[in-house]
Structure 1
Amino acid sequence: MPNILVTGGAGFIGANFVLLARSQKWANVVNLDKLTYASNLETLAELQNDENYHFVSGDISNLELVSYLLEQYQSDAIINFAAESHVDRSILSPEDFIQTNVVGTFKLLEASKTYWQKLSSQKQQQFRFLHVSTDEVYGSLSPTDPAFREDTPYAPNSPYAASKAASDHFVRAYYHTYGLPTLTTNCSNNYGPRQFPEKLIPLIILNALEGKSLPIYGDGQNVRDWLYVTDHCEAIYLVLKEGKVGETYNIGGLNEQTNLSVVEKICAIFDKLAPKSNFLHSSLITFVKDRPGHDRRYAIDCSKIKQELDWQPKENFDSGLLKTVQWYLDNSAWIESVRSGTYQNWIKRNYDSRCENNK
């Protein structure tokens, strides 16, 4: 099996990928994660006795550490999941996003380039640097615009999106300038088990569990394309194995939904799986002040990865959402492990003022 250095492997998408990589015997994995608020090692507890999985606590900006890990484990690839990823947090603290998403990616590229240049010609041809990015780098779509393609011009509208756009450009530059064998994937909104409850779907699920209000920004008509996390992880592995070096692949769920529709569907699932007498969960829906610069619509055209690599998502939104809600209902201990005082303070900071402004 190849040896893969996964960065950010204790976060939502990274952890799901690591679990799949080990259960499917895709690769031996070294997981480098800074263990910020959104990381959770309990997600990976089942791997604690796996001899072909190693966890290292550290920052991707630590060039010496990354270089050591590449050499120590003779890595055949890097998959970079490590990122600050929540738009609302980027509005409140943009510098954190520059440090991790831009500077961190640069340091990873530098370490990878130095390591790669020392490899034998055969190993150089086999090595890959796969950078996981987002559809938000493309900006916002109107209701009638065609979906984002790989050649759609970048037009980031939030500090988060701008930081990811910058990192994408650095990855491209290291391929064209130095020949480093890079791959980039730009995905739509992920959802599924083990997601930190600041993002829309887990936030709504957890609030519904506790009978709290279900906040929706603005008029609830912002549209996102929803990608089940397992589908995403399988696509990433396929790109790693078969993608053309230097190329970008858009990965989408082919499931456009308004935010209001997403919340209403979660409520309907709760009414079936966790019913309360004479009560509809949709009665908890509350519209709050919109966030600044809120992009209206994202949509992914993933015809390239379908045509070139024969990939398409397996889950439709209804089936994936049902699995997601059921997972949270079945994993209360995991929920408690991530809902720290830090999380509660941030939720209060981000949402309380919006509710007050809407009264």
Structure 2
Amino acid sequence: MKKKQWKRNHAKDKKSELAIQIVNDFDSQFSYCLALEKVNCQILKDVNLEVRSGEIVSILGPSGSGKTTTLNVIAGFLDVKSGSLNYNNQVWNNLPTQKRRIGVVFQDYALYNNKTVLQNIMTPIRNQKDKKTQATKYAKLVGLEKHVKQNVATLSGGQKQRVALARAIVKTPSILLLDEPFSALDANLRVSTRDWVHDLIKKLKIPTLLVTHDQEEALSISDYIYVMKDGEVVQFGKPYEIYNRPINTWVAKFIGETNILETSTGYVGVKPENLKLNDDGEYQFGQVKIKHIENLGSHFKLKLSNGFNINTRTLPNEEFFLSSNKVLYFDLKGELIHEA
């Protein structure tokens, strides 16, 4: 099978826009800000990736897949062994980190806990004459204007996340890099913070690359997703495309808990939400029994005798019929053939 190169086409006759420039009629379909072309470094293998103005693009994958390595290459923390790293047609391969104007929000935020909110936000612009005015402006932008004199150590997790974001964008970055930025927050705060960050980034039109292992996070916040495994991009697309049409059984099981059933000719995949607890579906899976019930509060997760897992709000009888109206067909190598 020919190796796929997950790289979007962009018109060569269109001039790339500056990342921080706000252009009302900007069409992101034709212009990119950042592009990695066949980049190799440590575990990375010919990685192709693009981030365009006004987009939030996620790199999604398990631990060790190459997500953070890709981020470190873009930030200049790691050298490119081969391939090309470009920003608006400017080669970045040997450009020092400080000249890339990268904004980074680290997983642990990397704040100065012995300093105030304002002092933390001023860190990247400490040599500017109007640093206090600028920092105050961005503190207000992230909703922390009442906390500028407060020591960072006394803030909540959500407030610290806002300080880290303000510090990353105060210098009007070329591109914003988010490294698992919501992982330290509790479940409820994670969702509300994620929505707030999404709206702020879209307002500022900063091209943003999000590194995450959380499928729900990537699906909810991203314009596009690169799915990585073992240093390679295995699938690229819009969130709903990757969720509904995974390119192989590995992606199918990694995103959305797809049930995979082995047959003599290949594999059949079914999403839990597409399973029916009766014989009304076009595709029949026969009688099944419940092996284990997991109570998740809002719904139940059932592990069945045929290896399937289903989510349901009401508990069926111990033995019931299973069917579906939508399935994915994979060949013996696990590659997607078609959906029905």
State the structure with more CA Rg: 2
TM class, shorter-length: under 0.3
TM-score by length of 1: 0.26
Which has a greater percent of helix?
Answer: 1
TM-score by length of 2: 0.26
Which has a greater percent of strand?
Answer: 2
